[in-house]
Chain A
Amino acid sequence: MTIAVIQFGGSNCDRDSVRALESLGFEAELVWHEDGLPGSVEGIMLPGGFSYGDYLRAGAMAARSPIMQEVKDAADEGTPVLGVCNGAQIGCESSLTPGVFTTNESARFQCEHVHLRVENADTPWTNHYEEGDVVELPIAHGEGRYEITDERLEELEANDRILFRYCDPDGAVTPEANPNGSKHAVAGVTGAGDHVAVMMPHPERASLADLGRTDGQGVLEGFAE
């Protein structure tokens, strides 16, 4: 079981992701985007960072690099794909997942811990939690505000495609607990299938017990499904 963690120019959570995945018993390897996907890959992670300097829009350039067609083909065949932070922006820019992550309502880069309510515990990425559980994960982004048309968002909600919403420590979804102005406080969504997901908060930064909380482990365990 090898998980490819794809490095673009400007990725910076790539090695953290490998370390977090390995700590959970996965084999993970860094894959430079120009090298293409190795044949034996059984999972794909798009890590955080600032690929291509966030030029044009965060994730726009990486989403159109040739390896993303391979990622889409693998996703179509059922390979699990997880995009985190810049990886989430890349996932949306490449249409692996719906919507877009754009400039925070504050117009500032925000680096803080947030609480998330598990909205759908019936996906590989969330079935280690119960629906309604509150997890604490870090965010670090300037463009994390989820934006999508009202109609499309209703459709996603009706089809249980929201993974997490920003909430307060008690699980209440309030404007104050929404760090970036995301529409309906959405922090993560699934793609056409549950095996493809993106989220702005960083599960890999909350996975090693030596560094504190391990709330993010359950998300990464999704690769085992």
Chain B
Amino acid sequence: MTVYTATVTVRLKRGVLDPEAETTQHSLERLGFELEDLRSADQFELDIDAASADEAADRAAEMAERLLANPTIHDYDVEVDQAE
């Protein structure tokens, strides 16, 4: 078995209002920065002992489905690297 780090990124689906991101964008603009849009996301790093990277990815995806993301408003993706 090998320990892998699965990085789960949970984003709001396109079209779902993100008031915190809007507020953050306005603050950046008040500081004089120019930007077209700002999107926020939550990122979780999971260390998983698994037989393969695919197995680690599957287990991380199940965790995203069950808890980390809410399918009504979120999309998520999973990337797996061997843990350092």
**B is bound to A:** yes
Which A residues form the contact surface with B (CB < 8 A)?
A: 56-57, 60, 64, 92-93, 98-100, 102-107, 145, 147-149, 181
Which residues of B pack against A, CB within 8 Å?
Answer: 16-20, 22-23, 66-68, 70, 72-73
Known contacts A105-B17, A145-B17, A147-B16, A93 near B70 by CB under 8 Å = yes
A145: which B residues are within 8 A, CB to CB?
17
A105 contact set on B, CB distance < 8 A: 17, 19
Chain A residues with CB below 8 A from B73, complex form: 100, 102, 147
Inter-chain contacts of B67 with A (CB < 8 A): 56, 60, 64
Q: Which residue of B lies closest to A63 (CB)?
A: B67
Main secondary structure of the interface of A (DSSP, over half): loop
Q: A56-B67, A60-B67 are in contact. Are A100 and B72 (CB under 8 A)?
A: yes
Q: How far is the CB of B80 from chain A (nearest CB, A)?
A: 22
Q: How far is the CA of A127 from the CA of B25 in the complex (A)?
A: 45
A106 to B19, CA, bound (A): 7
Contact of B22 among A93, A100, A107 (CB under 8 A): A107
Partner of B20, one of A60, A99, A100, A107: A107
* Interchain nearest-CB distance for B70 vs A (Å): 6
Say whether A147 contacts B66, CB under 8 Å: no
Ordered nearest first, which 8 A-B pairs have the shortest CB separation? A107-B19, A100-B72, A107-B23, A103-B19, A107-B20, A147-B73, A105-B19, A100-B73
Taking CB atoms, residues of chain B closer than 8 Å to A60 are 67, 70
B17 touches A99 (CB 8 A): no
Q: A28 vs B72: C-alpha distance in the bound complex, in angstroms?
A: 33
Q: Give A64 Cβ to nearest chain B Cβ, in Å.
A: 6
CA distance A56 to B8 in the complex (A): 13
Seed contacts A105-B19, A107-B20; 16 additional CB < 8 Å A-B pairs: A64-B67, A92-B72, A93-B70, A99-B72, A100-B70, A100-B72, A100-B73, A102-B16, A103-B18, A103-B19, A105-B17, A107-B19, A107-B22, A107-B23, A147-B73, A181-B17
* Min C-beta distance of B60 to chain A, whole Å: 16
A and B contact pairs by CB, cutoff 8 A, 19 listed: A60-B67, A60-B70, A64-B67, A93-B70, A102-B16, A102-B73, A104-B19, A105-B17, A106-B19, A107-B20, A145-B17, A147-B16, A147-B17, A147-B72, A147-B73, A148-B72, A149-B72, A181-B17, A181-B19
